[in-house]
């Protein structure tokens, strides 16, 4: 029996959907450019939870920018929850596959308020219903159609994945029009005739194929002007407060010294070198405060971070001073620390070329273009620095946040140095994840999803920076990218150690570099 005609019976009247979208978008039809759903499960990292147990023509009570439609005959007259949990005792590599949503005949997800354009739509499947050998349900055969672009008919999860309780991921390219995306799964009467034979899905991820527009020049100018004015106002208020409580002009600034590379400087000299923490001397912003360039000290230039929160002096003395013991050519050296009352300053060696992020992505940056050989050298240097932190350094290990390009600084010879380790948060043997708070930004997660899609399509070279214009070693690049994919494996136990990463990178960097056309 062919039930494909039933697709038109779904509550997808375009006008009705547009009316629903208007209520949810609140006048912002292009508000979103991603969608992550854990179908049938709870919230999981960036995936929103979808655990409602309703058989409904359209779930409209949600305030989210998505909805689902579930239709078909319920043989148990509403007694079935249309969510299924994994088979007891089966271990899945990710929580999004522990549960799934299924419907007797047709299951449709709607994404509202999306920017119009092309998207990568990734559907995550695992057969966790027809999976039990004891009751012979594993012999069941589930077959349904997927309506996106193009239509995929007679889709069978177990055949694709090679059995029940195994993962299968399907990727599609969808064109969003009228700011609505529809993903429809329809049972066409094929497969086993069980009451749970309808379509089933574990998770959905939708990411754009187009570049997200940045702020216009006028908006950027407005933000910069507003930030400058706010900074000026804040400094004025801060100055007035310090004057009122007697911090300005006190004797301590003249008699307190910091030692930088064997030379001593008074706190007054440091403040004067930053023009009393003037925004004009600001060169960056770290996790816990603003970084200034201290350029008017005799014989040397250093960088100084002024911490922006209230902290216990003894705690900073215990934790931050531990960083002074870390010495490695690929780590930014902590020179000295000042911590008293509510003023906490960290002094580092100054890296004149700035961050790797600025070198790679800032078009206004006058830095020399990083060619392929420099990038190979930088990757290896970063790995060596992280290996030292995680494996080589004696004593307690330092827990650092996710290292991104903004946390990598370059010296005059383009040698990379890992910076911004936060407040020397010491490794806790009983709770090793205590200090790891950041899962990653939405932009990071989108980039990882795009990499996974390209990896599945054997198109990893599309990740290479277009600024290289083909002037790179493709053999080396593929080895680099293959190693990167191993590092983001869903299972932490399958990821390589830093020692293994350094070893592989050294082997790659030693490869003979053929001509760019090779």
Q: What are 320-362's pLDDT values in tens digits?
A: 666 777 788 888 888 888 877 777 888 888 887 888 888 887 7
Which residues share a beta bridge with 348? 303, 334
Residue 211's H or E segment, with its range, is none
191 compared with 90, residue with greater pLDDT: 191
Domain with 401 in it? 358-509
The CA angle 414-350-384, to the nearest 5 degrees, is 45
Q: Is 517 among the domain residues?
A: no
Q: What is the CATH number of the domain that holds 325?
A: 3.30.200.20
Query: Residue 514: inside a domain, yes or no?
Result: no
For residue 48, the cross-strand partners are: 37
CB contact at 8 A, 283 and 312: no
| Higher pLDDT, residue 193 or 499 | 499
Could you say which of 208, 234, 269 is where a domain stops?
Answer: 208
Does residue 273 lie within any of the structural domains?
A: yes
Do 384 and 492 reside in the same domain of the chain? yes
Highest mean pLDDT among 70-79, 232-241, 471-480: 471-480
Q: What is the mean pLDDT of the chain?
A: 77
Number of domains in the chain: 3
User: Does residue 40 register a pLDDT over 50?
Assistant: yes
Phi, psi of 40 (to 5 degrees): 80, 5
Are 225 and 345 members of one domain? Answer: yes
Q: Mean pLDDT highest for which of 50-59, 109-118, 230-239?
A: 109-118
* Judgement on whether residues 186 and 293 belong to the same structural domain of the protein: no
- On whether both 186 and 285 belong to a single domain, the answer is no
Residues 382 and 470 grouped into a single domain: yes
pLDDT band at 75 (very low <50, low <70, confident <90, very high): low
Q: Are residues 236 and 150 in the same domain?
A: no
The verdict on 49 and 86 lying in the same domain is yes
Residues 173 and 393: their CA atoms lie apart, in Å, by: 47
Co-location of 202 and 230 in the same domain: no
Helix and strand counts by DSSP (H, E) for the chain = 11, 22
**How do strand 416-418 and strand 408-410 relate by DSSP bridges?**
antiparallel
Q: What is residue 432's predicted lDDT score, i.e. its pLDDT?
A: 36
Assess if residue 10 is contained within a domain.
yes
Sign of the dihedral through C-alpha 228, 230, 234, 240: positive
Whether 187 and 224 share a structural domain: no
**Position 518 in a domain:** no
Poorest-pLDDT segment among 158-162, 255-259, 494-498:
255-259
pLDDT, average across residues 304-322: 63
Q: Are residues 293 and 388 in the same domain?
A: no
Among candidate residues 208, 230, 246, the one where a domain is terminated: 208
* Per-residue b or e along 305-343, where b marks 16 or more CB atoms closer than 10 Å to that residue's CB: bbbeeeeeeeebeebbebbeebebebbbbbbbbbbeeee
Do 376 and 490 reside in the same domain of the chain?
Answer: yes
Spatial neighbors of 459 by CB under 8 A, at least 6 apart, are none
Do 416 and 498 lie in a common domain? yes
Residue 516 is assigned to a structural domain of this protein? no
Q: Please report which confidence band the pLDDT of residue 83 belongs to, taking 50, 70 and 90 as the band edges.
A: confident
Residue located via tokens 């950027």: 220
Residues in the chain: 518
pLDDT at position 195, please? 63
CATH number of the domain within which 151 lies: 2.60.120.430
Q: Assess if residue 515 is contained within a domain.
A: no
Give φ, ψ of 44 to 5 degrees.
Answer: -145, 105
Q: Give the CA angle between residues 10, 14, 20 to the nearest 5°.
A: 90
Which of 208, 232, 250 terminates a domain? The answer is 208
Candidates 303, 493, 512, 494; CA nearest to 417 is 303
Q: What is the pLDDT of residue 473?
A: 85
Q: Is residue 391 part of a domain?
A: yes
State the average pLDDT over residues 444-461.
81
């Amino acid at each position: 029996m062919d039930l494909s005609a039933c697709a038109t019976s779904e509550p997808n009247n375009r006008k009705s959907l547009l009316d629903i979208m208007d209520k949810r978008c609140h006048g912002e039809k292009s508000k979103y450019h991603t969608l992550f759903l854990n179908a049938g499960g709870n919230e999981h990292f960036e995936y929103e939870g979808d655990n409602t147990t309703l058989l409904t023509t359209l779930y409209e009570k949600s305030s989210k920018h998505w909805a689902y439609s579930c239709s078909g005959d319920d043989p148990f007259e509403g007694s079935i929850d249309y969510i299924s949990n994994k088979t007891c005792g089966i271990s899945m590599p990710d929580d999004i596959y522990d549960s799934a949503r299924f419907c007797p005949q047709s299951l449709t997800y709607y994404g509202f308020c999306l920017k119009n354009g092309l998207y990568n739509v990734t559907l995550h499947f695992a057969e966790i219903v027809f999976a039990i050998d004891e009751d012979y349900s594993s012999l069941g055969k589930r077959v349904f159609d997927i309506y996106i672009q193009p239509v995929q008919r007679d889709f069978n999860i177990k055949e694709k994945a090679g059995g029940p309780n195994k993962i299968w991921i399907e990727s599609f390219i969808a064109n969003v029009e009228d700011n609505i995306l529809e993903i429809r799964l329809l049972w066409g009467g094929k497969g086993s005739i069980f009451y749970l034979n309808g379509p089933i899905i574990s998770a959905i991820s939708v990411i754009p194929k187009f570049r997200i527009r940045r702020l216009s020049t006028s908006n950027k100018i407005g933000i910069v002007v507003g930030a400058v004015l706010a900074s000026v106002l804040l400094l004025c208020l801060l100055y007035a407060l310090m004057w009122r409580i007697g911090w300005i002009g006190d004797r301590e600034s003249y008699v307190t010294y910091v030692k930088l590379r064997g030379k001593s400087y008074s706190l007054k000299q440091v403040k004067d070198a930053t023009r009393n923490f003037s925004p004009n001397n600001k060169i960056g912003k770290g996790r816990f405060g603003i970084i200034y360039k201290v350029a008017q000290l005799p014989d040397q230039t250093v960088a100084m971070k002024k911490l922006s929160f209230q902290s216990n002096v003894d705690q900073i003395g215990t934790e931050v001073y531990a960083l002074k013991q870390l010495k490695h050519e690929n780590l930014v050296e902590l020179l000295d620390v000042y911590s008293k009352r509510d003023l906490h300053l960290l002094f580092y060696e100054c890296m004149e070329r700035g961050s790797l992020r600025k070198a790679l992505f800032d078009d206004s940056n006058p830095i020399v273009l990083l060619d392929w050989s420099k990038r190979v050298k930088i990757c290896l240097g970063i790995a060596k620095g992280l290996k030292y932190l995680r494996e080589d350094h004696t004593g307690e290990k330092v827990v650092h946040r996710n290292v991104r390009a903004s946390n990598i600084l370059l010296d005059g010879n383009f040698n990379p140095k890992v910076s911004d380790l936060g407040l020397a948060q010491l490794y806790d043997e009983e709770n090793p994840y205590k200090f790891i708070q950041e899962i990653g930004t939405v932009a990071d997660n989108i980039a990882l999803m795009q990499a996974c899609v390209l990896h599945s399509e054997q198109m990893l070279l599309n990740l290479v920076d277009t600024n290289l214009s083909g002037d790179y070693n493709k053999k080396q690049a593929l080895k680099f990218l293959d190693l990167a994919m191993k590092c983001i494996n869903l299972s932490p136990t399958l990821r390589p150690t830093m020692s293994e990463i350094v070893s592989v990178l050294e082997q790659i960097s030693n490869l003979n570099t053929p001509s760019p056309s090779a």
